[in-house]
């Protein structure tokens, strides 16, 4: 009987903890080779606009940016954070500005 109760408690805790985290995708830095200016975005970071270049949204300003020559580097890997954390609030603000697909 104790093992059944223990399994129920462990299962309930697992479901409760799984609902308390937010997965934040990898944060990327995109550098415009021509001007040297850098932008920050999340993965997946944009789409190809035929004949024009690669189109994405900068998470800091919310501006749409199109580049033809760029360098891409990873600033932070994908991670899970607890609900209500500072990182989750920053991610939600970036989502509101349009920097997350």
Q: What is the pLDDT of residues 27-84, one digit of tens each?
A: 999 999 999 999 998 887 778 887 888 888 888 888 889 998 899 999 989 988 888 8
The pLDDT of residue 50 is: 79
Cα(96)–Cα(57) distance, rounded to whole angstroms?
12
pTM strictly above 0.75: no
Three-state DSSP class for 80? Answer: strand
What six digits make up the tokens of 32?
Answer: 């415009």
The pLDDT of residue 1 is: 64
Residue with tokens 């697909």: 101
pLDDT greater at residue 4 or residue 25: 25
pLDDT over threshold 70, residue 92: yes
Burial class (CB in 10 A: 0-12, 13-18, 19+), 4: exposed
Task: Tell me which residue of 21, 25, 28 sits closest to 83, measured CA to CA.
Answer: 21
Secondary structure (DSSP) of 12-41:
HHHHHHHTTEEEEPPEEEEEETTT--EEEE
């Amino acid at each position: 009987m104790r093992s059944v109760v223990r399994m129920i408690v462990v299962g309930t805790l697992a479901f409760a903890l799984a609902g308390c985290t937010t997965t934040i995708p990898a944060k990327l830095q995109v550098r415009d080779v021509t001007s040297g200016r850098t932008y920050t975005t999340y993965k997946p970071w944009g789409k190809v606009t035929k004949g024009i270049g690669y189109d994405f949204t900068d998470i800091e300003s919310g501006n749409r940016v199109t580049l033809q020559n760029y360098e891409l580097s990873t600033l932070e890997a994908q991670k899970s954070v607890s609900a209500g954390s500072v990182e989750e609030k920053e991610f939600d603000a970036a989502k509101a500005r349009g920097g997350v697909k």
